[in-house]
Amino acid sequence: MKKFLSLILALTLCLTMFSFASAESVEDVIAEAQKMTLEELFKKAIEESNGKRFDAVGNSSRGKSVLPLFVEELQKIDPSYKLDYEGGWQQPKENKIFDQLTEDINGANHVMSMTLIQDGNQIQSKMLDTGLLLNFVPKEWSEAEGVAKEGNENPLALQTLNKVFMFNNLGEKTYKNMWDFVREGEAPLFMGVNSEPVGKNFLYMMTNDKYATIAKEAYEAWDGKNAEDDELIESMKEDAADLGLTGDNVQYGLAWVYLWCEKYNEETDDGPICNTLVTTSAKDQAGLLVYSKLRSVEETAESSVNNVTVAAYQDGYVGIGGYAYKHYLMLTKTSPLPWTSCALIAYMTTTQEGFKAWGKDMGGYAPVPACMQDHSKDGYVDGVDTYPAKNDRGYDWWLNEGKLVVEEPAYCASVSGTMSDWIDGIVASK
């Protein structure tokens, strides 16, 4: 019996050491890969994965379109290179990507090599704090000219996407201040706070003093404020204390969130929101939605991009113009093909061809400028500025002039424990 127990103990120890070694080996690959050029990574990927199966999971279905381009690049080095990726790029529904990754990493058979993932709150708490996902920063990304590193390096961001305030301009209402969207009588269209977590992260970020200060400045410049609004803001000091929130102006951000949750009209997706706003029958209606949805508007007698105005593009607009969330790229700590994953991530984040699937639309911005396509004249037809709302002013403009509220994983994770229920309570009571 003692010999049997000793054997079991030895086997358990071996399995534990093997699992630890596997995780360490991925970390070692990353450490070495971060010193390599893109061509060197391509060669390592060929050695590792030629003829093998590659699986990944992503929030964006566009990931599958980059894989054949990636294979073509490797075949320029080795024409015999083959990679089995058909059906390998999975896109879980209903935000189940975290469960799928956790099960794969903690399971006996590891399939997923890497992920393209969103929702900074859960990424921080479920993936980074636990060490289930590992960050890789390509050498050529770090050394690229003009790269926007702040907030994009750890975890590595493939792109920043914006959701912006728009309104139908055929009516009589004006929206020249962020507080106009939460004044009495408004019902802005918005995806529900629990149907898309990045929208809830936006509301968390509004309590960060950086954005709460913008809310304060906008409130002070707002000609629509009244005594009732003043009382609400004052009452938010107590709520902020109960929620464990700090900052000199947090009550302004919290008050705006309260009014937004109280008033927004829930929609299931940004597509229907866009399709509604651009119609002639949507006078005096506003919304907060993905900017790039304007690209797919079909011009008819009843619908037109020219029926909407991007709020922040107006001269004299005050306050935040919307919010930004990110798609991040990381390796699983049990990645079966870590070299191939590093090569693919480097290809997607440092070359225009690798980023093309996302860079083809306005409203999505790569940290490396060389990856981007110019969308500043997307509204031009035959050289004439026909649809001004589609002329993207770019990443720097949106961050600085448009004052986007940018998702920060660590901050979202630090406040979500208390704020989530507070937000849900407001939504449920309206």
pLDDT tens digits, one per residue of 153-197: 999 999 999 999 999 999 999 999 999 999 999 999 999 888 889
Strands 114-117 and 322-332: antiparallel
Residue 20 and residue 78 share a domain: yes
58-65: average pLDDT: 90
- Calpha distance 130→3 (Å, rounded): 36
Q: How confident is the model at residue 24 (pLDDT cuts 50, 70, 90)?
A: low
Strands 114-117 and 83-84: unpaired
Tell me the pTM.
0.92
Q: Residue 95 has what pLDDT?
A: 77
Residue 105 and residue 65 share a domain: yes
- Calpha distance 29→45 (Å, rounded): 11
Residue 127 and residue 64 share a domain: yes
Question: Domain range holding 131?
Answer: 2-157+327-371
Local structure of 275: helix, strand or coil: helix
Tokens 């200060």, residue located: 213
Please list the alpha-helical segments (H only) found in 34-178.
38-49, 63-77, 97-106, 120-122, 139-142
The model's pLDDT over 383-422, given as tens digits with 9 standing for 90+, comes to: 999 999 999 999 999 999 999 999 999 999 999 999 999 9
Tokens found for residue 226 = 């009244």
Residue 68 and residue 149 share a domain: yes
Do residues 270 and 222 lie in contact, with contact meaning Cβ atoms separated by under 8 Å? no
Residue 250 and residue 174 share a domain: yes
**Residues near 402 by Cβ (< 8 Å), separated by ≥ 6?**
162, 164, 312, 320, 321, 322, 393
Residue 186 and residue 106 share a domain: no
Q: How confident is the model at residue 7 (pLDDT cuts 50, 70, 90)?
A: very low
Do residues 371 and 350 lie in contact, with contact meaning Cβ atoms separated by under 8 Å? yes
Per-residue CA distances from 245 to 182, 234, 305, 415, 420 (Å)? 22, 15, 40, 8, 13
**Residues near 55 by Cβ (< 8 Å), separated by ≥ 6?**
88, 89, 90, 111, 112, 113, 336
State the DSSP string of 385-421.
E--GGG----HHHHHHTS--EE--HHHHHHHHHHHHH
Residue 212 and residue 100 share a domain: no
State the DSSP string of 185-234.
T---EEE-TTTSHHHHHHHHHTTSHHHHHHHHHHHHH-TT--HHHHHHHH
260-282: average pLDDT: 97
Count of structural domains, the chain:
2
Residue 208 and residue 83 share a domain: no
Residue 309 and residue 163 share a domain: yes
Cβ atoms < 10 Å from Cβ of 320: 25
The model's pLDDT over 83-119, given as tens digits with 9 standing for 90+, comes to: 999 989 999 877 799 999 999 999 999 999 999 999 9
Element (H, E) at 325: strand 322-332
- Calpha distance 362→233 (Å, rounded): 36
Residue 285 and residue 407 share a domain: yes
CATH number of the domain where residue 132 is located: 3.40.190.10
Residue 240 and residue 102 share a domain: no
Residue 98 and residue 51 share a domain: yes
- In this predicted model, which residue has the larger pLDDT, 158 or 60? 158
Q: How confident is the model at residue 228 (pLDDT cuts 50, 70, 90)?
A: very high
Comparing C-alpha atoms, which of 45, 58, 90, 48 is closest to residue 346? 45
- Calpha distance 72→79 (Å, rounded): 9
Q: Residue 19 has what pLDDT?
A: 41
- Mean model confidence pLDDT for the chain: 93
**Nearest 5°: phi and psi at 214?**
-60, -40
